[in-house]
């Protein structure tokens, strides 16, 4: 598996398996199947309410812990110094782990600076190998980077052919922050992407993953189908041409395919979501 070196030297597998909204009865087995398919990077979060099942999947996968890269995220209500300190151990307990490889602030709201200081301390204690953020606009990511001891290693944001975020990606990389794509496939089906896939006998999802991998962007994919898991990770035996990339560039709408993190109503809705852990 190809890896990307983060700004503190930690290596992250460029393809990760996401577990958001996987049905309850399938969570543990999905993680086991993903690891069997070759994934070594598993991404969860407090708000996904499945850290326990992810931990069981990791435990029962038959693969040594040190060979895996595990990410979790701090939810909004816990984004403060005390909130991180009080909730992170719960995440470790549910995961059944002594440390995580990456801890992210899930949303750019609440006491971000207090949370970040707590994460810096936990990293020094060896409970986190790398710290990062998720859904942060570039200006907020750079601000956090400039006025703290530790620069975020990752910013996990929506990146897909319809919301390509080219300028944001360049600015993050210039600051030493690795971009990581959630929802890379968006709606997925598209004639241009399908035609590119036919050239290489690849699926649309494989074409999108390859497009991101060639930009050194970490990619998160989700499926409960073992055959699809194996397919999604099989993207290292072909390369896109400049013509392919130019065609994909024409798909950019330049806006979220889901919702805006700057929408006040969405911020209120997210903030009102309380966890029952």
pLDDT in tens, 22-40: 987 889 999 999 999 999 9
Which strand (E) or helix (H) includes residue 141?
helix 138-146
78: left (phi over 0), alpha (psi -120 to 50) or beta: alpha
Helices (H), 175-219: 191-200, 204-213
Q: Provide the pLDDT confidence category of residue 46 given band limits of 50, 70 and 90.
A: very high
Beta-strand ranges (E) seen in the chain are 3-5, 11-13, 15-18, 41-43, 69-74, 100-105, 128-134, 154-158, 178-182, 218-221
- Torsion 109-269-76-9 (CA) sign: negative
Which CATH architecture describes the domain 3-271? Alpha-Beta Barrel (3.20)
**Which two tokens mark 24?**
């309850």
Whole-number pLDDT of residue 189: 72
Residue partners of 240: CB distance under 8 A and separation at least 6: 196, 207, 210, 211, 214, 248
**Which two tokens mark 83?**
């909130």
Active site residues: 48
Query: CA 210, CA 207: separation in Å to the nearest integer?
Result: 5
pTM as predicted: 0.96
16 SS3 class: strand
| Known binding-site positions for substrate | 106
Using one digit for the tens of pLDDT, what is the confidence trace for 50-76?
999 999 999 999 999 999 999 999 999
Which residue is listed with tokens 């979501």? 273
Mean pLDDT of 189-206: 94
Whether the predicted pLDDT of 150 surpasses 70: yes
Residue partners of 117: CB distance under 8 A and separation at least 6: 81, 148
Q: Provide the pLDDT confidence category of residue 277 given band limits of 50, 70 and 90.
A: confident
Using one digit for the tens of pLDDT, what is the confidence trace for 113-122?
999 999 999 9
Q: Provide the pLDDT confidence category of residue 198 given band limits of 50, 70 and 90.
A: very high
Mean pLDDT of 248-274: 92
Whole-number pLDDT of residue 188: 63
DSSP string, 19-71: -TT--GGGHHHHHHHHHHHT--EEE--GGGT-HHHHHHHHHTSSS-GGG-EEE
Query: CA 62, CA 111: separation in Å to the nearest integer?
Result: 39
Mean pLDDT of 98-121: 98
Yes or no: say if 152 and 179 are a contact pair by the CB < 8 Å rule: no
Yes or no: say if 204 and 194 are a contact pair by the CB < 8 Å rule: yes
| Known binding-site positions | 106
Angle at 49 between CA 42 and CA 151, to 5 degrees: 55
Using one digit for the tens of pLDDT, what is the confidence trace for 165-195?
999 999 999 999 999 999 999 866 789 999 9
């Amino acid at each position: 598996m190809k890896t990307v070196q983060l700004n503190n030297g930690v290596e992250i597998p460029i393809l990760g398996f996401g577990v958001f909204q996987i049905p309850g009865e399938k969570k543990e087995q999905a993680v086991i199947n993903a690891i069997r398919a070759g994934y070594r990077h598993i991404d969860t979060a407090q708000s996904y309410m499945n850290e326990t099942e992810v931990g069981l999947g990791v435990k029962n996968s038959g693969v040594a812990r040190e060979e895996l890269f595990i990410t979790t995220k701090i939810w909004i209500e816990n984004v403060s110094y005390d909130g991180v300190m009080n909730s992170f151990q719960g995440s470790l307990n549910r995961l059944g782990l002594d440390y995580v490889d990456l801890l992210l602030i899930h949303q750019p709201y609440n006491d971000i600076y207090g949370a970040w200081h707590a994460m810096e301390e936990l990293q020094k204690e060896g409970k986190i190998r790398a710290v990062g953020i998720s859904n942060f606009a570039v200006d907020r990511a750079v601000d956090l980077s400039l006025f703290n001891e530790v620069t975020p290693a990752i910013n996990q944001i929506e990146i897909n052919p319809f919301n390509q975020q080219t300028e944001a990606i360049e600015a993050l990389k210039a600051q030493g922050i690795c971009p990581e794509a959630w929802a890379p496939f968006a709606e997925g089906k598209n004639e241009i992407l399908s035609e590119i896939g036919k050239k290489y006998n690849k699926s649309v999802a494989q074409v999108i993953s390859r497009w991101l991998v060639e930009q050194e962007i970490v990619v998160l994919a989700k499926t409960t189908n073992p055959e699809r898991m194996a397919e999604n990770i099989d993207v290292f035996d072909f390369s896109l041409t400049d013509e392919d990339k130019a065609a994909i560039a024409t798909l950019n709408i330049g806006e979220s395919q889901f919702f805006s993190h700057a929408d006040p109503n969405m911020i209120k809705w997210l903030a009102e979501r309380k966890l029952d852990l």
